[in-house]
Chain A
Amino acid sequence: AQSVTQPDIHITVSEGASLELRCNYSYGATPYLFWYVQSPGQGLQLLLKYFSGDTLVQGIKGFEAEFKRSQSSFNLRKPSVHWSDAAEYFCAVGAKAAGNKLTFGGGTRVLVKP
C-alpha cells in the first residue's frame, strides 16, 4: 500500500527566505509524485508532478522539487518566499496501476512572516 509522510505540520518562514517542505513516500514500484497547494476555502492546485526522467522538476509559482529514489523523498523548494505563498501544501503519490487514486500526506501549513 502507498503512504506519504510530511514530517512538518507547520513551518514559519520570513518573506524572502527560502522554503523547503519535506515529503517521504512508501511505494514498491516507481511512484507518480505530486505537490498540491490549498489556500483557505479553496480546492487543491497542482504545483508540479514527477513521473519519470529528470529528477529535478520545475513547477508553477517558482517551486521545484527533487525526486530522490534512495531516500524515498520528494522535497519541495522555493528560493524566495512571497507572502502569497502562505497556504497548506500537500504531497501525494499515485501509480499507473492505481488509476487516478492519489494518496496524500497530512499536509504542511506554511506561515509567512513579513
Chain B
Amino acid sequence: KAGVTQTPRYLIKTRGQQVTLSCSPISGHRSVSWYQQTPGQGLQFLFEYFSETQRNKGNFPGRFSGRQFSNSRSEMNVSTLELGDSALYLCASSLNTAQETQYFGPGTRLLVL
C-alpha cells in the first residue's frame, strides 16, 4: 500500500502571498489531520477532516483553512503569509478513531521570505 503523500515537498513564498498544500492519504483512510512543526513551537495540531467535514480544530488564526474531497484527499491553505508561517507542514491519515494508528507523510517544507 502506498503511504501518505504530500505535495509539493518544498515551497518558497513571499509575505502576503497564499499557498495551498496537498495531502493524499493511504487508500481507505478517511481521516486526515494537519500539523505544523517549527523549531520554536514544536508540533502543533492544525485541524482534522473526516468524510469531508472538519472534525477538530487547533488554535490557529483563520488564515489557515483546509478542506477534504470525496476521495479523502485534503488540502490546506494559508492566506496572507507571514514570516512565522515558515515551517514543516505534516499531514497524517488514519482509518477513523483515535485508537487507530495515524500515518504521517514526509511533510511540505514552506519557507516564507
Please tell me the size bucket of the interface on A.
20 to 34
List chain B residues, Cβ under 8 A from A102: 33, 35, 43, 45, 102
Instruction: Tell me if B's interface is mostly helix, strand, loop or mixed.
Output: strand
List chain B residues, Cβ under 8 A from A44: 90, 92, 104
Judge whether B90 and A43 touch: CB under 8 Å. Answer: yes
Please tell me the size bucket of the interface on B.
20 to 34
The yes or no answer to A58 lying at the interface (CB within 8 A) is: no
> How far does the Cβ of A29 sit from chain B's closest Cβ, in whole Å?
12
Interchain CA distance A45-B102 in the complex, whole Å: 9
The yes or no answer to B66 lying at the interface (CB within 8 A) is: no
Q: Which of B31, B55, B102, B106 contacts A46 (CB 8 A)?
A: B102
Judge whether A32 and B98 touch: CB under 8 Å. Answer: yes
